[in-house]
Amino acid sequence: MKTRMLSLAGLLLAGPALADPDDDTLVINGEIEIVTKAPAPAHLEDVFDTIISGWHYRNDETQAIEADDFENPGMLGVEAARDDWFEVAGTGEESCASCHGEPEEMAGVRPVYPKWNEDAGEVRTLAMQVNDCRTSRMGAEPWKYAGDEMTDMVALISSVSRGMPVDVAIDGPAQSTWEAGRDIYYTRYGRLELACANCHEDNNGSMIRADHLSQGQINGFPTYRLKNAKLNAVQSRFKGCIRDTMAETFEPGSPELVALELYVASRGNGLSVEGPSVRN
């Protein structure tokens, strides 16, 4: 028993994180102030005092890239999507701009997605809404859910809301989807039996080998990752994380990942929209 008591002491001594998030501040292009730390939303108060953007867990060089649109490679995707925005496509002979005007008109949309769609009777992500526009209004082919064109378009729509606080609704008709997402967040998947919460709730700030674990906030998606040198859709990241638990993963666009996106987005209610962010 003595050995066991000692080992418990050993566990406690080893507990504190060695690499906490930093205290830098993020202003993009010298003008867009980004809230990267905020009080935890009410539903998360028992877990965190403060919610923290993944930006704080990256090194100074990576952080600096996101602070300047001319340096941020994710803005190339935004520019590509701007071309698509004005391009007439499909049998309806219309473009996004035909109904929505300039992309800047979409300011305020990104912060509230995923969002309940009353007519469809479901929670929809921005990607789902874009494809609904393409198929039912434009008469165009849907884009691949997490393909480059879609991810670029979500980045464009996000970029015009940068600095606005994430504010997804979790009650009312969205509640059951939100609860399903919460269940997924706490489920230990795969042969490694890891839940989102194991890394991003219980161990954020710690290192898993060379990776600095963040809170797993998604206010910065789509995210340009230096690791794969492209813009990444949030659900592609979810898929990769679940795959890395040695699990049969879920596909982008699946009901499970839509629910998870709503839930994880809600954990960031109060942080600024940051996408397209830059991470390693």
Catalytic residues: 241
Q: How far apart are CA 194 and CA 269, in angstroms?
A: 25
Q: How far apart are CA 116 and CA 30, in angstroms?
A: 35
Residue 17 engages another protein in binding (rule: CB under 8 A): yes
Segment interacting with another protein (CB under 8 A) among 34-42, 63-71, 113-121, 202-210? 202-210
Partners of residue 269 on adjacent β-strands: 271
Residue 46 engages another protein in binding (rule: CB under 8 A): no
Partners of residue 7 on adjacent β-strands: none
> 21: which DSSP letter?
-
Closest separation between CB of residue 196 and another protein, Å? 12
Residue 191 engages another protein in binding (rule: CB under 8 A): yes
> 200: which DSSP letter?
H
Pull the structure tokens for residue 194: 């890891």
Residue 11 engages another protein in binding (rule: CB under 8 A): yes
Binding flags for another protein, 222-241, as an x/- string (CB under 8 A): -----------------x--
Partners of residue 114 on adjacent β-strands: none
Residue 247 engages another protein in binding (rule: CB under 8 A): yes
Closest separation between CB of residue 242 and another protein, Å? 8
Among 188, 227, 228, 255, interactor with another protein by CB under 8 A? 188
Segment interacting with another protein (CB under 8 A) among 116-124, 166-174, 189-197, 261-269? 189-197
Backbone angles phi, psi at 75, to 5 degrees: -70, -20
Pull the structure tokens for residue 235: 């659900």
Among 63, 249, 266, 272, interactor with another protein by CB under 8 A? 249
Residues numbered 66 to 125 that lie near another protein (CB under 8 A) are none
Rounded (5°) CA angle 225-26-160 = 70
